Amino acid sequence: MSDPKVVLVTGSAKGGIGYEYCKAFAEQNCHVVASDIPQRMNDMEELSSERIETIELDVTSDKSVSSAVEKIISQYGHIDILINNAGIGSTGPLAELPLNTIRQAWEINTMGQLRLVQQVVPHMASRRSGSIVNIGSVVGRVATPWAGSYCASKAAVDAMSNTLRLELRPFGINVVLVLPGAIRSNLGSNNVERLRNYDWKLYKDFTDSIAERAKASQGSKATDATVFARHVAKKVLSHKPPKQIVFGHMTGLFAVLQWSPLWVRDLFFSTRFNLNKKL
């Protein structure tokens, strides 16, 4: 029997989709390395099992990423699959949202993924084998009001993944872009919590609409995170992994919006998020 595949998952704290990825890949007999920032290590305690171990990994730190990857390589000799999942929401009007907040979203959601890629690729290339799974979003293709910072960071993931897929092909490395729809997790509550830090000026009349956007992905019809993670794991582990995995509630709507004229898209979102009124 071949050795189990070694899977590194970033952003694995309880309550997030990463937590479910860890369980889903373990169910498929992989050895999973669940990782998150030091402050959230306690939120991964329940993951620890025969097939799942936990380590500290901060995707915004070159040193942390390098240390974690080298530790895994020294212990197992290889990383077969990287799940670039670590991410943070970023809600608010672009004209007022502090640049430091926007920068943080890009540092985690975009640069964090590339930081992992640059550390893992040399090891995968030496074996002419491996899969990199970048977690994007349907809003990376169809941006929404009140979340431009988050949408832009995910659009960059989309562009990077399309480039990496071709650039890494000569080394036998697969690149899979995952575009989740509305998946049930703690993303919405975390978004709403962060909004308490802001006192909008230009957009004070839109406070309720901004809060509505912060939790928009967490409605009653949102796809269960366990179901979503199992779907992704099976696709990634298939004999020929797909280039893209689009799955979850509202993906059909966003597919229609993506191919609709801009005026249709603008009408939909301006109505949905209260942007039709004149001030």
Instruction: Identify the pLDDT of residue 187.
Output: 82
Coil, strand or helix at 93: coil
Instruction: Based on the residue annotation, tell me whether 203 is a catalytic residue of this protein.
Output: no
pTM assigned to the model? 0.95
- Written as six digits, the tokens of 216 are 């928009």
- Written as six digits, the tokens of 271 are 């109505």
| From 5, 19, 21, 154, active-site residue | 154
Instruction: Identify the pLDDT of residue 3.
Output: 86
Q: Give the chain's residues under pLDDT 50.
A: none
Distance CA 59, CA 66 (A): 10
- Burial pattern 76-95, b for ≥16 Cβ within 10 A else e, equals eebbbbbbbbbbbbbbbbee
Instruction: Identify the pLDDT of residue 26.
Output: 97
Instruction: Identify the pLDDT of residue 220.
Output: 87
| From 21, 150, 203, 215, active-site residue | 150
Instruction: Identify the pLDDT of residue 1.
Output: 53
Instruction: Based on the residue annotation, tell me whether 234 is a catalytic residue of this protein.
Output: no
Instruction: Identify the pLDDT of residue 143.
Output: 97
Going through 12-159 in order, the beta strands assigned E by DSSP cover 31-36, 52-56, 81-84, 130-135
Domains of the chain: 6-272 (3.40.50.720)
CA-based end-to-end distance of the chain: 68
